[in-house]
Structure 1
Amino acid sequence: MRDKSLRGWLILTQVPRLRVSQRRALLAKVPIDALSEQTAHDLAAVGLTAEQCHAVTHPNHAMIERSLEWARQENCHLIGFDHPAYPALLREIARPPLLLYVQGDLTCLAMPQLAMVGSRHATPQGLETAYQFAKQLVEHGVAITSGLALGIDGRAHKGALEGHGKTLAVLGSGLANVYPARHRALAERIEAQGALVSEFWPEAPPRAEHFPRRNRLISGLSAGVLVVEAAPQSGSLITARYALEQNRDVFAIPGPIDQVQSRGCHQLIKQGATLTDCVDDILHEIDSLISFAACQQTELFSDAPKLDTHEGLPFPELLANVGTKATCVDVLAERCNQPVHEIMMQLLDLELQGLVAAVPGGYVRTRRG
Structure 2
Amino acid sequence: MNDTAHFRTWLTLLRTPRFAAVSLREQLTLHDGIEAVHAALLQRLAELPADTRRWLECPDDRRLDADLAWLDQPGHRLLLCTDEDFPPLLDAIPQPPVALFVAGDASLLLRPQLAIVGARAATLSGRTLARAFGQALGHAGFVITSGMAEGIDGAAHLAALDAGLPTVAVVGTGLDRVYPRQHHALARRLAAEGALVSEFPLGTPARVDHFPRRNRLISGLSLGTLVIEAGLQSGSLITARLAAEQGREVFALPGSIHNPLAHGCHRLIRDGARLVETAAEIVEALAPAAVALGRELAGRLDGPAVATPGETASEADPSRQALFEALGYGPVALEDLVGFTGKAVSELTSELLMLELEGKVEALPGNRYQRLPG
What TM-score bracket applies, with the shorter chain setting the length? 0.7 to 0.9
The CA distance in 2 between the partners of 1:102 and 1:297, in whole Å, is: 20
SS of aligned partner of 1:103 = strand
The CA distance in 1 between the partners of 2:223 and 2:241, in whole Å, is: 14
The correspondence of residues 117-128 of structure 1 with structure 2, limited to 5 A, is 117-128=117-128
SS of aligned partner of 1:101 = strand
The correspondence of residues 219-258 of structure 1 with structure 2, limited to 5 A, is 219-258=219-258
The correspondence of residues 155-194 of structure 1 with structure 2, limited to 5 A, is 155-194=155-194
Check the 8 A contact 1:119/1:151 in 2, yes or no.
yes
Matched AA of 1:261: L
Q: Deviations over 1:182-225 (max 9, x none)?
A: 11111222222210111112222222221111111111111111
1:50 deviation in Å?
A: 7.0
SS of aligned partner of 1:100 = strand
Worse-matched range after superposition: 5-14 or 214-223: 5-14
The CA distance in 1 between the partners of 2:217 and 2:252, in whole Å, is: 19
Give the TM-score normalised by structure 2: 0.74
1:110 deviation in Å?
A: 0.5
The aligned counterpart of 1:72 is 72
Check the 8 A contact 2:240/2:250 in 1, yes or no.
yes
Give the TM-score normalised by structure 1: 0.75
The CA distance in 1 between the partners of 2:28 and 2:290, in whole Å, is: 35
SS of aligned partner of 1:256 = coil
The aligned counterpart of 1:261 is 261
> 5+ unaligned residues in a row in structure 2: which ranges?
307-357, 359-374
Worse-matched range after superposition: 7-16 or 251-260: 7-16
SS of aligned partner of 1:117 = strand
The aligned counterpart of 2:316 is none
The CA distance in 1 between the partners of 2:134 and 2:32, in whole Å, is: 44
Q: CA separation of 1:94/1:256 partners in 2, compared to 1, >3 Å: closer, same or farther?
A: same
The CA distance in 2 between the partners of 1:26 and 1:279, in whole Å, is: 41
The CA distance in 2 between the partners of 1:22 and 1:168, in whole Å, is: 26
The CA distance in 2 between the partners of 1:298 and 1:105, in whole Å, is: 19
The CA distance in 1 between the partners of 2:280 and 2:78, in whole Å, is: 35
1:56 deviation in Å?
A: 3.7
The correspondence of residues 327-342 of structure 1 with structure 2, limited to 5 A, is none
The aligned counterpart of 2:92 is 92
Q: CA separation of 1:227/1:39 partners in 2, compared to 1, >3 Å: closer, same or farther?
A: closer
The aligned counterpart of 1:8 is 9
Matched AA of 2:73: Q
The aligned counterpart of 2:31 is 29
SS of aligned partner of 2:78 = strand
Worse-matched range after superposition: 2-11 or 232-241: 2-11
1:293 deviation in Å?
A: 3.8
SS of aligned partner of 2:201 = coil
The aligned counterpart of 1:109 is 109
1:96 deviation in Å?
A: 1.6
What is the root-mean-square deviation of aligned Cα atoms in Å? 2.9
Matched AA of 1:90: L
The CA distance in 1 between the partners of 2:216 and 2:152, in whole Å, is: 18
Q: Deviations over 1:70-103 (max 9, x none)?
A: 0100111111211122111011111122221111
The aligned counterpart of 1:286 is 286
Matched AA of 1:239: T
Paired residues in the alignment total 306
The CA distance in 1 between the partners of 2:41 and 2:293, in whole Å, is: 41
Matched AA of 2:78: L
Q: Deviations over 1:246-293 (max 9, x none)?
A: 111111000001110000000000000000111122112211222244
Q: Deviations over 1:324-353 (max 9, x none)?
A: xxxxxxxxxxxxxxxxxxxxxxxxxxxxxx
Check the 8 A contact 1:225/1:249 in 2, yes or no.
yes
Worse-matched range after superposition: 284-293 or 206-215: 284-293
Check the 8 A contact 1:223/1:249 in 2, yes or no.
yes
Check the 8 A contact 2:22/2:97 in 1, yes or no.
no
The aligned counterpart of 2:275 is 275
